[in-house]
């Protein structure tokens, strides 16, 4: 009874009831505007959530992420430009539908696919996370070290075509995480005599600098044309359409959930797999590429299916699977919470309240999707010249507010410039952020494991679980290297000089 | 030709150079190793050194891979560098005057200057948008969350 009362107490906060729908709405609007990504939105709005109750703050960020996944489909359908990378497949059939004068039907198909994918994803989260957290209670420092290493490898392996470059990004993130006072001996590392750096490189300026500012800098650096959106017509997604696309939606959701639960894969890859499967099996497969509703449904159900599923490794083991969950991990830490098996053991009402709120947030997507349908064309067409200055203000105020110092603001701009340089060098920023977030955890577990074993490295492998995790890491590295070598051989046969 | 191949390998080169710097200079100079840490035990330098060696290893592999694969890359020259410099100057100016006029007025000036000065939008809507938006920020940060933002020494 106490447990139920605590869950209700968590949920019955007026802030939550007001701000969660607003967050979903904001996410949808942000996702609908090309040039504004969900990562940017979650990063820029993170400072606002830190002064709220932990559950409310975290749900706002998740709500923005969820809303933006659907929002990304709007610009994909109306403008032929995916609002978020996860909507890349939605473009293929969504825009042809809009060109045929069926934009309303396509948007409603995306809406229902997102809604169902999202709900099933929450169900999977509820079913799997507790079980995984129980399993995670067996983990000691060796196992956690092996798990973090495996996660970083998977993320690096899947984030880019070049594994060494992606691993280098992860190493750069780990290096940033070592700045400040040493965990055990409290001696300074890379502080260069600066008092501000003794607490480490601040998380928020790194996040905003790497994920929000490069887009803004590149917008002002190049003369990009603003795009025009198609108008939303009065065509509807009928019951017959629903019956036809439901199997595709269910399949897409399962693909999204499965791929979302594995760290590193994320929404974008799952949409391609789901789209390919639908192209093989959907009733309207002959229409694919020319305006098939199943194409839109497959892509949208898969990307929404990943959303709550990415929370499974985060909540159960404390390991983020993508950039947004890495930001969420940072938000958990800011609120004094450490996701992982201990959170399930110590604060189960919080977890259950989170599940319930996540479940209901899906209904807000459906509600706002229908209410906003008519407004989507002007929303998607807002010029970026008008959007970026307010975002800059949010970045500056947000970075300042957290530490009450201009140091954080200048650090943020420094990382913004670094973000542009990293894009030029083709080093993926997501691996840097994930390495940065996991750095302390990795070092802490490595040092504890080595202290217990009195410095013997072999001891890192003497548990079957740790050895199994290291073996999987090794297999992934070998597989990626093998794939790269094969690709190069094929490339050489096809063309003697590979051009990028 | 050579330039394009070097450009393609630039990521690997940068990472390798950083790794070498870490191992040879940055870690010995800027990470203090306490004398009480035994030689075979992990200390503050352990992870940074591992990272440094990792960077050298993976950076080298990346360079070799690109060189052997014959990849070439040409960076596109940005066509709006003047506009970017103008925006950067506006932001820097706003940050520098913040201690004197306060953060929110500086943000209004910055928004208006970027929207109408650098992007060529009309002045009046820019001013209205900036004032309204900064008003919302003021309500959230100062009124609701109670976070003090720099108010500016000019206003006393």
Residue A497, domain member (yes or no): no
By Cβ distance, the residue of B51, B110, B140 closest to A175 is: B51
- pLDDT tens-digit map of A429-466: 888 988 998 898 889 888 888 888 877 778 788 888 88
Q: In whole angstroms, what is the distance from residue A312 CA to residue A304 CA?
A: 14
Q: What is the DSSP letter of A498?
A: -
pLDDT confidence of residue A35 = 75
Range of lowest pLDDT (A318-327, A363-372, A477-486) = A477-486
CB contact under 8 A, A164 and B61: yes
pLDDT confidence of residue A499 = 36
Which candidate in A161, A218, A220, A431 is best for mutational testing of the B interface (most B CBs within 10 A)?
Answer: A220
pLDDT tier, B117 (very low <50, low <70, confident <90, very high otherwise) = confident
pLDDT above 80 (res A158): no
Q: In whole angstroms, what is the distance from residue A139 CA to residue A33 CA?
A: 43
Put simply, the chain B residues between 44 and 63 with a CB less than 8 A from any chain A CB are 44, 46-48, 51, 54-55, 58-59, 61-62
Q: What is the CA radius of gyration of chain A?
A: 23
Which candidate in B4, B84, B146 is best for mutational testing of the A interface (most A CBs within 10 A)?
Answer: B84
CA-to-CA separations, A285 to A114, A245, A276, A352, A367, in angstroms, rounded: 20, 11, 10, 40, 29
Mean pLDDT over each residue of chain A, to the nearest integer? 86
pLDDT above 50 (res A497): no
Beta-bridge partner residues of B72:
A499
pLDDT confidence of residue A492 = 54
Average pLDDT on A471-494 reads: 74
- Interface contact B5, partner A, CB < 8 A: no
Contact list in B for residue A217 (CB cut-off 8 A) is: 84
pLDDT above 60 (res A496): no
Q: In whole angstroms, what is the distance from residue B106 CA to residue B94 CA?
A: 5
* Proportion of chain B above pLDDT 90, given as a percent: 44
pLDDT above 50 (res A409): yes
Residue A494, domain member (yes or no): no
- Interface contact A417, partner B, CB < 8 A: no
pLDDT confidence of residue A498 = 35
Question: Which H or E element spans position A280?
Answer: helix A266-281
Q: How many domains does chain A have?
A: 1
- pLDDT tens-digit map of A173-200: 999 999 999 888 888 999 998 888 998 9
A142/chain B closest Cα distance in angstroms? 14
Mean pLDDT over each residue of chain B, to the nearest integer? 87
Q: What is the DSSP letter of A189?
A: E
B38, exposed or middle or buried, with CB in 10 Å at 0-12, 13-18, 19+? exposed
- Domain with A261, as residue range(s), is 2-489
Helices (H), A404-463: 406-424, 429-452
Could you tell me if A329 and A320 are in contact, meaning their C-beta atoms sit under 8 angstroms apart?
yes
Q: Nearest 5 degrees, angle CA A247-CA A315-CA A411?
A: 110
Residue A382, classed as helix, strand or coil, is coil
Residue A495, domain member (yes or no): no
pLDDT above 90 (res A120): yes
For residue B119, the Cα-to-chain-centroid distance in whole angstroms is 23
pLDDT above 60 (res A118): yes
- Interface contact B35, partner A, CB < 8 A: no
Residue A183, domain member (yes or no): yes
Tokens 């890859």 locate to A269
Contact list in B for residue A394 (CB cut-off 8 A) is: 137
Residue A496, domain member (yes or no): no
pLDDT confidence of residue A230 = 77
pLDDT confidence of residue A402 = 76
pLDDT confidence of residue A486 = 75
- Interface contact B109, partner A, CB < 8 A: no
Which candidate in A390, A426, A485 is best for mutational testing of the B interface (most B CBs within 10 A)?
Answer: A390
- pLDDT tens-digit map of B23-63: 999 999 999 888 777 777 788 898 999 999 999 999 998 88
pLDDT confidence of residue A175 = 95
Helices (H), chain B: 2-8, 10-21, 27-30, 46-69, 81-101, 103-112, 123-138
Q: Nearest 5 degrees, angle CA A263-CA A313-CA A319?
A: 75
Could you tell me if A184 and B48 are in contact, meaning their C-beta atoms sit under 8 angstroms apart?
no
pLDDT above 50 (res A101): yes
pLDDT above 50 (res A231): yes
By Cβ distance, the residue of B30, B71, B149 closest to A397 is: B149
pLDDT confidence of residue B34 = 83
Residue A499, domain member (yes or no): no
A242/chain B closest Cα distance in angstroms? 41
pLDDT tier, A34 (very low <50, low <70, confident <90, very high otherwise) = confident
Could you tell me if A175 and B48 are in contact, meaning their C-beta atoms sit under 8 angstroms apart?
yes
* Proportion of chain A above pLDDT 90, given as a percent: 33
pLDDT confidence of residue A489 = 67
pLDDT tier, A215 (very low <50, low <70, confident <90, very high otherwise) = confident
Indicate whether this complex's ipTM tops 0.95: no
Closest chain B residue to A426, measured at CA? B11
Closest chain A residue to B35, measured at CA? A185
Residue A429, domain member (yes or no): yes
């Amino acid at each position: 009874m106490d447990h139920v009362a605590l869950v209700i107490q968590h949920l019955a906060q007026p802030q939550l009831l007001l701000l969660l729908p607003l967050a979903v709405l904001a996410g949808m609007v942000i996702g609908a505007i090309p040039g504004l990504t969900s990562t940017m939105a979650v990063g820029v709005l993170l400072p606002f959530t830190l002064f709220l109750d932990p559950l409310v703050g975290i749900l706002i960020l998740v709500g923005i992420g969820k809303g933006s996944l659907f929002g990304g489909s709007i610009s994909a359908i109306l403008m032929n430009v995916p609002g978020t990378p996860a909507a890349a497949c939605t473009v293929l059939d969504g825009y042809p539908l809009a060109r045929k004068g069926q934009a309303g039907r396509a948007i409603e198909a995306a809406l229902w696919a997102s809604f169902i994918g999202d709900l099933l994803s929450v169900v999977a989260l509820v079913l799997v996370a507790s079980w995984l957290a129980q399993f995670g209670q067996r983990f000691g420092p060796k196992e956690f070290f092996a798990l973090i290493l495996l996660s970083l490898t998977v993320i690096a392996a899947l984030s880019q075509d070049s594994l060494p470059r992606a691993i280098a990004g992860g190493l750069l993130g780990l290096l940033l995480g070592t700045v400040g006072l040493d965990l055990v001996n409290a001696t300074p590392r890379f502080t260069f005599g600066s008092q501000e750096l003794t607490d480490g490189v601040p998380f928020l300026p790194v996040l905003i600098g790497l994920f929000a500012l490069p887009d803004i800098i590149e917008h002002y650096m190049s003369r990009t044309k603003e795009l025009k959106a198609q108008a939303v017509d009065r065509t509807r997604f009928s019951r017959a359409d629903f019956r036809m696309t439901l199997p595709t939606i269910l399949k897409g959701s399962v693909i999204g959930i499965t791929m979302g639960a594995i760290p590193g894969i994320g929404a974008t890859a799952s949409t391609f797999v789901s789209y390919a499967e639908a192209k093989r099996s959907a009733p309207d497969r002959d229409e694919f590429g020319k305006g098939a509703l199943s194409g839109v449904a497959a892509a949208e159900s898969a990307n929404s299916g990943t959303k709550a599923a990415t929370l499974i490794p985060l909540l159960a083991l404390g390991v983020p699977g993508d950039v947004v969950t890495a930001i969420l991990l940072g938000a958990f830490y800011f609120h004094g919470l450490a996701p992982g098996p201990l959170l399930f053991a110590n604060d189960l009402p919080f977890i259950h309240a989170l599940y319930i709120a996540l479940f209901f947030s899906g209904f807000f997507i459906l509600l706002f999707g229908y209410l906003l349908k008519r407004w989507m064309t002007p929303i998607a067409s807002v010029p970026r010249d008008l959007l970026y200055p307010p975002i800059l203000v949010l970045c500056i105020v947000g970075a300042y507010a957290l530490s009450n110092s201009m140091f954080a603001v200048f650090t943020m701009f420094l990382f913004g410039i670094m973000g542009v340089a990293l894009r030029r060098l083709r080093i993926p920023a997501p691996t840097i952020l994930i390495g940065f977030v996991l750095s302390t955890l990795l070092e802490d577990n490595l040092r504890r494991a080595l202290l217990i074993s009195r410095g013997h490295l072999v001891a890192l492998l003497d548990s079957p679980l740790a050895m199994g995790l290291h073996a999987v890491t090794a297999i992934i590295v070998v597989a990626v290297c093998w794939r790269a070598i094969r690709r190069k051989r094929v490339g050489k046969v096809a063309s003697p000089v590979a051009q990028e | 030709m050579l330039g394009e191949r070097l450009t393609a390998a630039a990521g690997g080169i940068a990472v390798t150079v950083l790794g070498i710097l870490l191992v040879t200079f940055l870690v010995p100079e800027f990470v203090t190793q306490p004398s009480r840490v035994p030689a075979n035990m992990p200390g503050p330098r352990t992870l940074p050194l591992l990272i440094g060696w990792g960077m050298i290893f993976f950076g080298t592999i990346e360079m070799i891979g690109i060189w052997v694969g014959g990849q070439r890359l040409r960076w596109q020259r940005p066509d709006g560098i003047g506009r970017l410099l103008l925006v950067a100057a506006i932001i820097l100016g706003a940050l520098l005057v913040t201690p004197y006029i306060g953060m929110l007025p500086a943000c209004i000036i910055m928004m208006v200057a970027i929207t109408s000065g650098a992007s060529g939008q009309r002045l009046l809507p820019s001013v209205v948008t900036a004032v309204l938006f900064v008003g919302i920020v003021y309500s959230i940060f100062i009124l609701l969350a109670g976070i003090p933002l720099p108010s500016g020494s000019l206003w006393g």
